[in-house]
Amino acid sequence: MSLCHLYSEQTSSLHVEQLKEVLEGVSLDINNIDIIDDYDVYIIELEQATKEISLKLRSLLKAKVNPLIYFIISAKHNLILFQLTYLLGTKDVITQGQDTNKIISKIISNIKSNNTNQELVIDEVYNLDLISSRISFLNLLEEKLEKQTKFINAITINIHNVNKIQKELGLVALEKYLNRTLLFMESLFEEKLIFSQYERNFYIVLLEDTDFEDIKEMANEFHHIVLDDIAHEEFKFMIDVFTVNFDDKTIDDAITIFNSIKNKELTFTQMHSESLEYTSQTQGVITEKSVLDEAYKKQVSFKLLNIYNGLVITTPSKILKKVDDNIYISFEQLQGVVMKMEKQTILQSGIFLQDILADIKVIDSKKKIAILENFGFLNTNANSRKYARVTTSRKIPISLAYIGITLNGNILDLSIKSIAIKSKYTKNVETIKYKIISISFNIPNYRFDNGYTQLKLNAKVIVVLPLDSDGNCKIVCDFEDGSDDESIIKEYVYDRQKELIIEIKKMSKLN
């Protein structure tokens, strides 16, 4: 078996040397060759694709008969690169985090079955040149804002659940679906100045000489048409649409607005103001009932999720039966224990537009069947914190400090990288939003004589949420990297997780 590794100027992949050793490979810089021999496998490694590189690769491979092509890509890839993978009939995409031995096994298996078949059939050429870069967009916007002779407005399109769908579809199939959707979106704006990828999965349409009220109506119609199109797909993108009015705005103002939209840092009042309007008609087009009907019809497996004292419990499930507005589902033993306590559960799947919260009407622990009712989309990921977290075994006071401001509260839960705190809501809470603060608390540690360890760490406040009707709020912070106390927190979280698992297992024996 033979392999040809093609790259441009430099190579940094961790997989290449082992691939070459097993498959008798060579490495070639495409900038230095005009022809290549025939090989069983071609591994192409590109940081970014350009028009020149694309043409060169097509020229080198055009005479090959059913070539078995793989792409190695970095985390920072552009749309042109994926366009190129389709044009060349790529078998699969390899990322740096994959297991090299598994890649080798997969390639060898595909060589054996590649006689006349290509797994990827390219039905059409994706002309993604229509999607401009962030730099092109900002240059044009700055030029227009300096003149400000006409109405300048924008419509932003934020696609939230791309990573979730990628886990179900795989990277290549996802990009093909994404590109089709983007081209459809682009086609709906006839009088645009530019359609741009501002950041990954965040797109902006710039329009000129149209009244803001008309732009808002246009955005509503656009959102409705796109969601109606998505409703017919098995995997559904979840999109947010905003309209932005640039009257009396500078380019710095514009960038601040876009970042606030992208990072979801806007209040309700800001989302519905004279210069900004949020459009959301998702549930009018794609309902919980429609996605559950589809899941039942196609017998799609999904996951149940419950959180017990911060500990995430998630196991597979499927819909066994539908009766009127109720569904019958299967569950596993530990999941059933927590579902019975909480009287609710969350359904998660790549085909669901968003996670779905459901009430538990009836639960049969012996048959491991539950009847669910009262379904509703969740506006946020039910387990959106980055790392597994736990509640503390007892109430732990905590102090927050920032430039002369001190707040007191109690720990709600913590993970190795973040912490949630309950505190009284005051004007000082608004002052510390998105700031680096100092937090101090005593964490249980039975290895010390006094039974605890005193910690003082720096953390960034990432979100503040109302908690209850008594005027309390929830403050979530991410710990700053490089803390000497990280190992102590990790040890506590690990020990607490074991305690909670033992608790659930004991309860399961009683059911």
Same domain, 430 and 356: no
Give the whole-angstrom CA distance, residue 220 versus residue 119: 39
Query: Rounded to whole angstroms, how far apart are CA atoms 448 and 454?
Result: 11
Residue-averaged pLDDT of the chain: 84
List phi, psi (to 5°) of 431.
-65, -35
Cα–Cα distance, 339 to 59 (Å, whole number): 59
The 10s digit of each residue's pLDDT in 189-198 is: 888 889 998 8
pLDDT of residue 115: 46
Domain shared by 59 and 142, yes or no: no
Higher-pLDDT residue of 152, 109: 152
Scored b (16 or more CB within 10 A) or e, 371-380 reads bbeebebeee
Alpha carbon distance 391, 496 (integer Å): 8
Assess if residue 391 is contained within a domain: no
Q: What is the pLDDT of residue 473?
A: 93
Q: Are residues 190 and 96 in the same domain?
A: no
Domain end position, chosen among 252, 268, 285: 285
Same domain, residue pair 162 and 215 = yes
pLDDT 10s digits, 197-210: 888 889 999 998 88
Q: How many CB atoms lie within 10 A of CB 168?
A: 14
pLDDT of residue 429: 92
Same domain, 252 and 155: yes
Q: What is the pLDDT of residue 281?
A: 61
478: enclosing H helix or E strand: strand 472-479
- Checking if the pLDDT of 277 tops 80, the result is yes
Residue 118 within any structural domain of the chain: no
Residue 322 shares a structural domain with residue 274: no
Residues 132 and 280 in one domain: yes
Last residue of a domain, one of 319, 349, 377: 377
The pLDDT value given to residue 329? 95
320 and 350 both lie in a single domain: yes
Return the DSSP state at 119. S
Instruction: Indicate the number of domains in the chain.
Output: 4
With 0.95 as the threshold, say if the pTM is over it: no
Asked, for residue 184, whether it belongs to a domain, the answer is: yes
Q: Is the pLDDT of residue 236 over 90?
A: no
Which among 198, 209, 210, 52 is positioned nearest to 136, based on CA atoms? 198
Residue 149 and residue 254 in one domain: yes
Rounded to an integer, what is the distance from CA 310 to the centroid of its chain? 21
H/E segment holding residue 338: helix 333-342
Which residue among 112, 139, 160 closes a domain?
A: 112
Same domain (yes/no): 267, 175:
yes
- Is residue 508 in some structural domain? no
- Expressed as residue numbers, the domain containing 80 is 3-112
Residue 339 covered by a domain: yes
In a domain, 208, yes or no: yes
Q: Quick one: average pLDDT of 432-460?
A: 88
231/410: higher pLDDT? 410
Q: Are residues 22 and 67 in the same domain?
A: yes
Q: Which residues are CB-neighbours of 276 under 8 A, at least 6 positions away?
A: 242, 243, 244, 245, 257, 266, 270
Joined together, the tokens standing for residue 398 give 């905590």
CATH code of residue 304: 2.40.10.10
Name the pLDDT band for 119 (thresholds 50, 70, 90): very low
Q: Does residue 127 register a pLDDT over 60?
A: no
C-alpha 323/C-alpha 406 separation (Å) is: 55
Do 12 and 50 lie in one domain? The reply is: yes
Q: For 85-108, give the secondary structure using H, E and C.
A: HHHCCCCEEEECCCCHHHHHHHHH
367-392 average pLDDT score: 79
- The answer to whether residue 430 sits within a structural domain is yes
Task: Tally DSSP H helices, then E strands, for the chain.
Answer: 15, 23
DSSP class of residue 129 equals: G
- Mean pLDDT across 385-409: 87
- Is 44:70 a contact under the CB 8 Å cutoff? yes
Q: Is 384 inside a domain boundary?
A: no
> Distance between CA atoms of 467 and 484, rounded to whole angstroms?
31
What distance lies between CA 419 and its chain's CA centroid?
Answer: 21
For residue 11, what is the domain's CATH number?
Answer: 3.40.50.2300
Q: Which two tokens stand for residue 215?
A: 């732009």
The predicted-structure confidence for 318-341, as pLDDT tens digits, reads as follows: 999 999 889 999 999 889 999 999
Residue 119 corresponds to which tokens in the numbers above? 């797994």
Give the separation between CA 402 and CA 423, rounded to whole angstroms.
15
287-317 confidence digits (pLDDT tens): 888 889 888 988 888 999 998 888 888 999 9
